[in-house]
């Protein structure tokens, strides 16, 4: 089972000015490519982009929620890095077997009973009430 380490970096907010990139989307694509290629050279694989809320102070006692755009990268852990991780006591091959299904709720396997009678109410040994 391959284990990964993850790195999260803020997405660029502005494009980079370079010759040939004249429009805003072109400049932004250059900035994004620069971040992705820099991390790829270090062995990181691009995984996804996320937008997450972040509560920040606003004024003396208030808070404001702003959304942050983040880029998520991952790379496989090497044997030396795996040795430094804590041992959980479960061999990786047995992890799926160690996960048990939730226990059945009481009464979920009870035998079916007689359906209640529908219609006018009656006494056990008499006419309708």
Among 57, 56, 52, residue whose Cα is nearest residue 67: 52
**How many domains is the chain partitioned into structurally?**
1
Query: Tens place of pLDDT for every residue, the chain, 129 residues?
Result: 788 999 999 999 999 999 999 999 999 999 999 999 999 999 999 999 999 999 999 988 899 999 999 999 999 987 766 666 666 666 655 555 445 444 555 555 666 677 766 777 666 676 655
Question: What's the CA gap between 75 and 40, in Å, rounded?
Answer: 10
69 falls within a domain: yes
93 falls within a domain: no
Question: What's the CA gap between 68 and 71, in Å, rounded?
Answer: 10
117 falls within a domain: no
Task: End-to-end CA distance of the chain: give it in Å, rounded.
Answer: 70
Range(s) of the domain holding residue 73: 4-86
119 falls within a domain: no
pLDDT at 98: 44
pLDDT at 83: 67
111 falls within a domain: no
51 falls within a domain: yes
């Amino acid at each position: 089972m391959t284990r990964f380490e993850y790195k999260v970096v803020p997405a660029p907010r502005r494009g980079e000015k370079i010759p040939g990139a004249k429009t805003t989307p072109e400049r932004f694509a250059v900035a994004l490519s620069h971040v992705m290629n820099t991390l790829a050279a270090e062995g990181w694989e691009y995984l996804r982009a996320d937008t997450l809320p972040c509560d920040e102070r606003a004024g003396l006692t208030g808070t404001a929620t702003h959304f942050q755009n983040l880029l998520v990268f991952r790379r496989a852990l090497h044997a030396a890095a795996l040795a430094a991780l804590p041992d959980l006591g479960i061999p990786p091959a047995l992890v799926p077997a160690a996960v048990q299904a939730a226990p059945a709720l009481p009464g979920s396997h009870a035998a079916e009973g007689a359906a209640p009678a529908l219609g006018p109410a009656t006494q056990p040994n008499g006419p309708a009430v």
